[in-house]
Structures are given as C-alpha cells and as structure tokens.
C-alpha cells in the first residue's frame, strides 16, 4: 500500500488521513465500502483488480453477504462520485467477468514526509538552478495535466454529444387530473393535436387557443400522425369494454371520422401520404404492417424477434424516413412488469418493403420514443443517468444514412428534462420538435373494507414521498406494509406501519422488486438483480429476516423468475414460476434448501400472471384478458371462468381464500377493483378516477385493509424545442 497520505488522480484528491475524496477543495460524500474500494483501485492504479481481491479487502474471509450486489453497488456509487459513465468510462473500466481497473494516472504527496533529495545530475552548489528547475518541472506537470484533462473532455463530449442541451418550452399546462396522453405537431408547425383524459384537442401554438376536436363523445382516441397536407390526422380509437383499437382518419375542418382499419393501432403516415405503417392485433407489436392510405392492400413487412425467449419481442413506435425510403422502429425484448431486469431496446431500420434490416443502436438505456428529422437525424428517448432507476429521459439524436439505414455519427444530446418521454414528433422542415413528458408514478394507498361487506372505503396514501412506491405485501399482523421505492435513485426495500407516514429501509441495493412474505411471516422474500441489463446473469431470490440480520440467498435462476409467492401458516408451500420454452413451470421452494419439486406447468401462458391461495391449495391463473383458470394443486383439476365484460390482467386472493380481487376498467376507461369468485360472479368493490390506473389490490391477513397500487399522474404535458 502507498505510504503517502494524499493520492491524486484526474481532478480528484484522496486524503487517507481524513478519509475524504475531494475535488477543487470540495468534499465528495462517499460511504465506507465504496471509499475502501476506491482506495484499493487507486493503490492498484492501472492494474486489474479482481472481484476476489475486492471481496478480501472489503469483507475478509468470512463472507455472509451478497458480495456481488455489494461490489456492484459500491462501483455504482464510485462512478456517481467521479461523474464517470459506464457506457464511456474515462476513469473506471469494467473488465467483464474479471474485475475493474482505474484508468487515470496517480501521483502522491505526503505533507509530513521529508523532501526528496535532488537528482544527482544537479550539483549541490547550484540551489537556485535546482529551485528553478523544480518549478519548471511543476509547471510542465501542471500543463500536462491540463492538456490531458482537455483531451479527455473533448473525447468525452464527442461521445456524449452537446454539453448544453436545448431548452424545452412548455406547450400545454394541463393539471394532474387531466394528464396529456399523446401529442403530435402538424407538419407546418401551426398546431399540436393532443389527447387527455377528457378528450381529443387541437391547440394553435402561436396563440395558445385550444378547442376540442369535433368527434362524438364516445370517440376515445389518441393522435398518432398527421397526413402531409396538415389538414388530416391519423388516430387510434379505443372502443367497447375490451378497448379494441382501430385506426381512423380525422379532418381538421370537421366532418365525420373515417375508419381505415379494425384491430390496428400506432399508425404512422408516410411523408408523401400514400402509405401507413401500423401494428395489427391481436398481439399488438409482434408484427409490423403497411397499408395504403385508404386502408387497402394491407401487407406484413416485419416480425418482432422472439428467438430470445422467455422475452417477448415487441415493435413500437414506428416512424418514416424523410423521403419514405425506410422505416425506423424501436424493438423491445419484453419482460413482465415485476421482473428486476430492464427491458432490452434496439433502434432498427429497414426498407419500406420490409427488407435490409439494420440495427442502429442496442442499449437498455434506449427508450420508446422516436422521430426521423428532415436533415437525416433520428431522435430517440434515452435515460441519461446510467446509475439511476428513475424514469428521467433526455432526447438524443443519431445521424442515419437513409439509403443504407446505418448510423453515420455518434449519439448527440438534444434536450433533457424530468420524466419519461412518451412521444416525439417533428415539423416537416425539421425546425420544431414537440414531445410529451409523462411524470406518472406508481403509488401505494391504504384502503379499508366497510364492515360486513367486501366494498372498500376511500383510500389514503401510504407514504407522502412522491417518487415511485410499489407495495405488494403485508406483515402477518396486518400492521405494516412491505414495498420498494426508487426515492433514493434505485429500487430499495422498505417497511412502513400503516398508521405512520415514514418508512424504514430494510435492504439497500439496486433493482429490488416483488417483496413477498414467507409462509411463517418471519422473512420478506424479494427478487434482486445486480446486473439488470444482462439477461444471461442469474436472477436472485433473496430473503431478509424481519427481526434483523443480512439478506440471504434462497435460490438463483438463469433467466427471469416471473413470480414467487408463499401460502400462510400452517401451510409451508412457497412457489416460483419460470419459463422454459413454451412452458410456464411452477416449482416449490423453501428458504433453507432452495428449489424443490415441480408442481405443474402451463403451455402458452400468455399473460403470465398468477396468485397462490392463502391455504396453499389453489392457483388462480390469468390466462388472457377475459379468462381465469382456478387450478387445484391437490387434485390437478382446473376450472376455467370467462369474464366477458371486463378486461383483466392480474389478481390476488382475498384473505379468506373465497375469491380474487382484480383490477379492470369500465367502457368509459374508469378504473375499478373487482371481486370475482370461482363461479364467475363479479362485483365492483371500488371505482376510481378516469385519469388514474389501478394495478392491484392486496387484502391484509385480518381482512380489514387493502393495499391499493395505482399510477398517479403528475406534470404530464407537451413541450417544444426549436432549432435543435
């Protein structure tokens, strides 16, 4: 180990006496484990530091923690402190599967050490010359450091793009109870068509005048794309209880809507107005089709990649190149909501006849908003902070050759802001960009059952923190809730009593999801992934004693664990589900021995949602949007129940095991919680606001309360960037 008390690298100094990291005299806060790891990396400057060396340094021989997650968390915090991007590192390099290396040169200085002797080439009789030479060497060193920093900054900016993103100007100012859902700018830049929870509107940009589009009241639609004449708009309409989409053409000056295609969504009009790219049902996004602008001659031109199962490929959104030669789209390799891994996204192009596919970008930080500008740039949404698990996205651009569909430049920053970018649209001259930002967060509410009934009272927030909060378990005494929150930038595990307003952290880390209670109520079980961007990396099912102590590994599976759940004592049954080929396999497990025996398997289980009854004797499987299967684990007998008038997605057993609580929506898009028994009888027990989306309702073990998980909109509005 170096004996110097202060170590210098890049623009930082590491003071071993005060145990501080400083930059320009300012102390940068770093916790104990990340600080120890940083000191090790600085000591081994330029050398590869293996994970085994890190474990030995940080924890020693007796390791009782998840070292993989601990190392990844420490590295992430070091990167944040050093402002180092893992995608384009200039200080800290990751060597996949091996370890880490500090790239910056390190110099030392010990304030208490004696001065080094002068080089022997200088005679002792010339102290003035020695002093001048030393000063010159310091000057040369300073100049060299400045030059290195300047070159590094230039290289960094060449990778990252514009240092000063363009300013986003507000176009709409809707309140949270009427959030903007879609917005597209007209080709001439005069209008923005947008939809909110109250209807479809047209806004004149110059004056701010807004008027409703002249459509029937039951015409619930989202704007997709303008026709090049600037007087017609392509929209996706949702109709009926099943909200089946269809594509329609609307006229700016009035007149009846014209239907172009049933069972179709997310249309994009070609620059010459002759063709429309769209996504057909019933599996929207699995295929990409074209049709003529009047709805004639539909033909398939692309299929989403599904070879990388259990991920399901999905195409969305879709845009045309400026001259209509090619089509660009985002393809996602999809995971269920509750998995800790991040979805994979790729930006692809292909010619307008479906051939010559090209991958432009492939990145977990790439998100689902897209536009192709007249000057040849493709705009896309991109999560700016690689260490954050919040949905703050910037707009980036990459120049693409329309003839070949290949990138000809590095990504460049266009603008940044708070919230997810829901969509992008650009004027025909490429001078105005309109985007809409979504600041909707999942929030947990506590609701109480009316005495003597299964109906729910008005709900109240569990926590006053406005960041994402996802609650999925009660403690066995029904007094506290277990939930994950990204309030500190990454998803961590919390516990909070329902009569309090603040929570305690149970588990630190990243990508922690799906907390569940063990059968005896002594432990919380949760999914964790230290490398959510890598699907080949094993997912971990962890346990944490509610009485205290470090988390413990229960089991690991290569590939995603879709769900896990335990019954309640006296039953000891716990189940995980995973996908192998076309089969959804249900396997028992316990905290001491890990994976047990296979219980059952379901083929082509589309929605992949299920729930285990409190006594551990039945599974409720949500086969599709309108069908539930009640499966006895004792006998293997299955009973399928059809719920025709309500679209379904997931559900949870009631505390007494007699029915299942499920989220759904009415024909007017109002969220509801349903109580459905095995005979198919349906009762609405709670109805919400039109602009809110219910996720689920989980009843407390004593039957008095419920956790209501819902999406709560914030500042969801349209914004504009000029001359970008």
Domain with CATH 1.10.10.10 in the chain: 6-112
Q: Tens digits of per-residue pLDDT, 415-445? A: 999 899 999 999 999 999 999 999 998 999 9
- Token pair listed for 348: 């692809």
The conformational region for residue 222 under phi > 0 = left, psi -120 to 50 = alpha, else beta, is beta
In the predicted model, what is the mean pLDDT of residues 138-166?
51
Question: Strand pairing partners for 380?
Answer: 370, 396
Pairwise CA distance, residues 196 & 442, whole Å: 19
Query: The domain 441-712 belongs to what CATH superfamily?
Result: TolB, C-terminal domain (2.120.10.30)
Pick the range with the lowest mean pLDDT from 9-18, 220-229, 583-592: 9-18
Give me the residue label for tokens 């045309």: 320
Pairwise CA distance, residues 559 & 76, whole Å: 23
Whether pLDDT at 338 is above 50 = no
- Starting at the edge strand found earlier in the chain, the sheet holding 552-557 runs 512-517, 523-528, 539-545, 552-557
Question: Strand pairing partners for 457?
Answer: none
Coil, strand or helix at 73: helix
Q: Which DSSP string do the residues of 8-72 spell out, in sequence order?
A: EETTEEEETTTTEEEETTEEEP--HHHHHHHHHHHHTTTS-EEHHHHHHHHT-S---S-HHHHHH
Quick one: pLDDT band at residue 26, thresholds 50, 70, 90? confident
Which of 438, 384, 434 has the alpha carbon at shortest distance from 169? 434
CATH topology of domain 169-439: Methylamine Dehydrogenase; Chain H (2.130.10)
Q: Which DSSP string do the residues of 609-672 spell out, in sequence order?
A: EEEE-TTSSEEEEEEETTEEEEEETTT--EEEEE-TTS----EEE-TTSSEEEEEEE-TTS-EE
For the entire predicted model, the pTM comes to 0.70
Domain with CATH 2.130.10.10 in the chain: 169-439
Whether pLDDT at 306 is above 70 = no
- Mean of all residue pLDDT scores within the chain: 86
Which of 621, 598, 618 has the alpha carbon at shortest distance from 610? 621
Pairwise CA distance, residues 603 & 580, whole Å: 10
Quick one: pLDDT band at residue 68, thresholds 50, 70, 90? confident
By DSSP bridging, strand 523-528 and strand 366-372 are unpaired
Contacts for 648 with CB less than 8 Å, ≥ 6 apart:
622, 625, 626, 627, 628, 662, 663, 664
In the predicted model, what is the mean pLDDT of residues 240-268?
90
- Token pair listed for 50: 């293996």
Quick one: pLDDT band at residue 241, thresholds 50, 70, 90? low
Q: Tens digits of per-residue pLDDT, 604-636? A: 776 678 999 999 999 999 988 899 999 999 999
Q: Which residue has the higher pLDDT, 164 or 82?
A: 82
To which H or E segment does residue 144 belong?
Answer: helix 127-160
- pLDDT of amino acid 57: 86
Determine whether domain 6-112 maps to CATH 1.10.10.10: yes
- pLDDT of amino acid 388: 78
Backbone angles phi, psi at 128, to 5 degrees: -60, -45
Contacts for 623 with CB less than 8 Å, ≥ 6 apart:
605, 606, 607, 629, 640
Using a pLDDT cut of 90, give the percent of the chain over it: 57
């Amino acid at each position: 180990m170096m004996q110097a008390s202060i170590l210098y690298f890049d623009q930082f100094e590491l003071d071993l006496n005060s145990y501080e990291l400083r930059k320009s005299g300012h102390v940068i806060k770093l916790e104990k484990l990340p600080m120890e790891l940083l000191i090790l990396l600085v000591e081994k400057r330029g050398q590869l530091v293996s994970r085994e060396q890190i474990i030995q340094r940080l924890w020693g021989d007796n390791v009782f923690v998840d070292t993989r997650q601990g190392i990844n968390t420490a590295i992430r915090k070091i990167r944040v402190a050093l402002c180092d991007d893992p995608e384009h590192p200039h200080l800290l390099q990751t060597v996949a599967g091996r370890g880490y290396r500090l790239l910056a040169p390190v110099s030392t200085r010990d304030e208490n050490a004696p001065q080094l002797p002068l080089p022997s080439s200088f005679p002792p009789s010339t102290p003035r010359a020695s002093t001048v030479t030393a000063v010159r060497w310091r000057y040369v060193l300073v100049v060299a450091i400045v030059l290195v920093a300047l070159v590094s900054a230039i290289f960094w900016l060449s990778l990252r793009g514009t240092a000063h993103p363009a300013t986003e100007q507000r176009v709409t100012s809707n309140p949270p109870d009427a959030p903007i859902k879609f917005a597209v700018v007209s080709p001439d830049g005069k209008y923005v068509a947008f939809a909110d929870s109250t209807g479809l509107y047209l806004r004149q940009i110059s004056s701010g005048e807004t008027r409703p589009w002249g459509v029937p009241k039951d015409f619930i639609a989202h704007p997709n794309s303008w026709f090049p004449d600037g007087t017609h708009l392509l929209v996706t309409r949702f109709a009926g209880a099943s909200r089946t989409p269809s594509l329609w053409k609307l006229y700016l000056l009035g007149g009846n809507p014209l239907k172009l295609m049933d069972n179709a969504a997310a249309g994009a009009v070609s620059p010459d107005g002759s063709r429309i790219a769209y996504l057909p049902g019933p599996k929207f996004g699995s295929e990409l089709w074209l049709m003529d602008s009047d709805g004639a001659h539909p033909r398939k031109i692309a299929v989403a990649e599904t070879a990388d199962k259990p991920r399901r490929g999905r195409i969305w959104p879709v845009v045309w190149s400026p001259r209509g030669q090619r089509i660009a789209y985002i393809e996602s390799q999809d995971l269920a909501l509750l998995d800790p891994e991040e979805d994979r996204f790729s930006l692809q192009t292909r010619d307008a006849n479906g051939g010559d596919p090209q991958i432009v970008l492939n990145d977990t930080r790439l998100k689902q908003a897209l536009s192709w500008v007249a000057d040849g740039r493709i705009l896309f949404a991109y999560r700016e902070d690689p260490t954050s698990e919040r949905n703050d996205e910037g707009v980036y651009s990459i120049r693409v050759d329309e003839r070949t569909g290949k990138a000809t430049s590095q990504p460049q920053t266009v603008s940044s802001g708070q919230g997810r970018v829901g969509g992008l649209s650009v004027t025909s001259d490429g001078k105005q960009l309109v985007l809409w930002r979504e600041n909707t967060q999942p929030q947990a509410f506590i609701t109480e059952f009316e005495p003597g009934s299964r109906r729910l009272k008005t709900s109240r927030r569990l926590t006053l923190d406005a960041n994402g909060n996802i609650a999925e378990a009660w403690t066995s005494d029904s007094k506290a809730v277990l939930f994950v929150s990204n309030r500190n930038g990454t998803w961590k595990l919390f516990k909070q009593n329902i009569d309090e307003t603040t929570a305690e952290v149970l588990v630190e880390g990243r990508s922690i999801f799906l907390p569940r209670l063990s059968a005896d109520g002594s432990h919380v079980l949760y999914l964790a992934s230290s490398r959510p961007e890598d699907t080949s990396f094993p997912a971990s099912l962890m346990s944490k004693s509610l009485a205290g102590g470090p988390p413990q590994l229960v089991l690991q599976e290569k590939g995603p664990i879709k769900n896990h759940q335990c019954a309640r004592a006296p039953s000891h049954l716990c189940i995980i589900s995973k996908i192998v080929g076309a089969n959804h396999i249900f396997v028992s497990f316990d905290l001491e021995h890990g994976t047990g025996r296979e219980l059952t398997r379901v083929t082509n289980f589309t929605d992949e949602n299920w729930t285990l009854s409190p006594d551990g004797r039945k599974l409720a499987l949500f086969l599709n949007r309108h069908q539930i299967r009640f499966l006895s684990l004792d006998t293997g007998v299955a009973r399928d129940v059809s719920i025709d008038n309500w679209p379904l997605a997931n559900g949870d057993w009631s505390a007494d095991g007699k029915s299942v609580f499920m989220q759904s929506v009415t024909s007017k898009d109002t969220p509801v919680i349903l109580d459905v028994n095995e005979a198919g009888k349906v009762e609405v027990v709670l109805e919400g606001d039109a602009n809110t989306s219910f996720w689920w309702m989980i009843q407390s073990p004593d039957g008095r309360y419920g956790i209501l998980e819902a999406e709560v909109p914030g500042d969801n509005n349209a914004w504009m960037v000029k001359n970008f």
